[in-house]
């Protein structure tokens, strides 16, 4: 009988420790890529969520040229946004972030958020079209929790 | 002898507990067990009506089903439900600085579109010294200010610039 109790106590302890570990150190998640063409240049954009060291979350948005050729400075811009489970925007950056030097792509985060809950990443991107910018939203990322 | 048996039991208990814990929490997080909602977002990032299982796309997107319209003809709701940039609402659901839930104007949030890369970079440079930007949080009428929404600057170190040289 005692042996069963002994077994149960350690089983439960290991279960709790492993679940806490999984929640705390859960890896990030990425939404699917959205492909589009602007000014005869092929791009994709993508949103992702990344856990931070202080048990928070960062929504990140990427825009990337499909060919491995640098595009001029200012051609690509990103605007990441973090949403809670009710679709409420909880974090977004002060302004758009553009590639300030020639690059194939740029990725930037929204400010880190640490309140408990389930969150999504869903950003916006801009690509220069010769006469301004064409804007696209990303697909949403899957949700991730802060515990 | 008993000590040996106890050690084996202890090892088995820890192994089983760890494995079950790992897989059960992984399953729960993957399948959104803790946060059931009246809408679903599938693995492709598509918005799905939970009642009909219909996939909402740019083609069949009906703003009246997703957003509400205020007395001034402005759409308001969550931009998480937008399926493209063009389908974002005029007033975006947002959480104010003191936890108040309200709406921010899309134009206040992400501003006017620059005309060219030079203008975009000049604006980026002008904002470089700021640590935050405060915009009004409105009621759904888009007129009554009920709070403030703050957008903070991000650490420049966290921006990833990908160059052709790096990816070769």
pLDDT beyond 90 at A35: yes
> Angle B112-B115-B119 (CA atoms, 0-180°, nearest 5)?
90
> Of residues B111 and A96, which shows the higher confidence score?
A96
Q: How far is B4 from chain A (nearest CA, A)?
A: 12
- Give dist(CA A27, CA A46) in Å, integer: 17
B37 band by pLDDT with thresholds 50, 70 and 90? very low
The reported pLDDT for the residue numbered A71 is 97
A34, A45, A86, A88: which to substitute to probe chain B, counting the most B Cβ within 10 Å? A88
pLDDT of residue A132: 95
Residue B93 to residue A92, Cβ atoms within 8 A: no
CA quadruple B136, A109, A58, A125: dihedral positive or negative?
Answer: positive
| pTM across the whole model | 0.76
Residue B52 DSSP symbol: T
What average pLDDT does range A67-95 have in this prediction? Answer: 95
Minimal C-alpha gap between B72 and chain A (Å): 22
A7 to chain B: closest CA residue: B13
Q: Smallest CA–CA separation between A118 and chain B, in Å? A: 7
pLDDT value at residue B45: 60
Which pLDDT score, from 0 to 100, does residue B148 have?
Answer: 97
- Predicted complex: ipTM over 0.85: no
User: Chain A residue with minimal CA distance to B57?
Assistant: A139
Mean pLDDT of A64-83: 96
B51 touches chain A (CB under 8 A): no
**pLDDT band at B33, cuts 50/70/90?**
very low
pLDDT of residue B32: 45
Q: Are A27 and B25 in contact (CB under 8 A)?
A: no
Cβ of B83 within 8 Å of Cβ of A18? The answer is no
Nearest Cα residue in chain B from A117: B35
As a whole number, the mean pLDDT across chain B is 84
B35:A83 CB<8 A: no
| Contact criterion met (CB below 8 Å) for B44 and A139 | yes
């Amino acid at each position: 009988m005692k042996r069963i109790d002994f077994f149960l106590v350690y089983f439960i302890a290991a279960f709790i420790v492993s679940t806490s570990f999984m929640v705390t150190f859960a890896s990030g998640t990425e939404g699917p890529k959205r492909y589009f063409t602007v000014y005869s240049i092929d791009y994709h954009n993508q949103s992702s969520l990344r856990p931070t060291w202080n048990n928070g979350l960062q929504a990140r948005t990427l825009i990337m040229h499909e060919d491995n050729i640098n595009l001029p400075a200012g051609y690509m811009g990103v605007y990441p946004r973090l949403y809670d489970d009710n679709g409420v925007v909880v974090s977004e950056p002060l302004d758009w972030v553009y590639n300030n030097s020639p690059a194939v792509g740029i990725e930037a985060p929204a400010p880190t958020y640490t309140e408990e809950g389930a969150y999504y990443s869903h950003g916006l991107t801009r690509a220069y079209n010769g006469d301004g910018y064409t804007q696209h939203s990303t697909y949403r990322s899957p949700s991730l929790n802060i515990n | 002898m008993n000590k040996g048996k106890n050690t084996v039991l202890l090892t088995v208990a820890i192994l089983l507990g760890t494995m079950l814990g790992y897989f059960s929490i992984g399953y729960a997080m993957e399948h959104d067990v803790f946060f059931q909602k009246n809408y679903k977002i599938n693995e492709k990032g598509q918005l799905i009506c939970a009642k009909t299982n219909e996939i909402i796309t740019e083609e069949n997107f009906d703003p009246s089903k997703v957003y509400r319209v205020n007395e001034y003809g402005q759409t308001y709701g969550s931009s998480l439900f937008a399926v493209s940039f063009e389908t974002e609402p005029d007033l975006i659901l947002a959480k104010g600085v003191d936890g108040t839930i309200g709406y921010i104007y899309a134009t206040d949030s992400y501003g006017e579109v620059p005309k060219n890369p030079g203008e975009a970079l000049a604006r980026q440079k002008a904002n470089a010294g700021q640590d935050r930007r405060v915009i009004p949080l409105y009621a759904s009428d888009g007129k009554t200010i009920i709070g403030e929404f703050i957008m903070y600057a991000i650490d420049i170190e966290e921006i990833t610039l990908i160059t052709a040289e790096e990816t070769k």
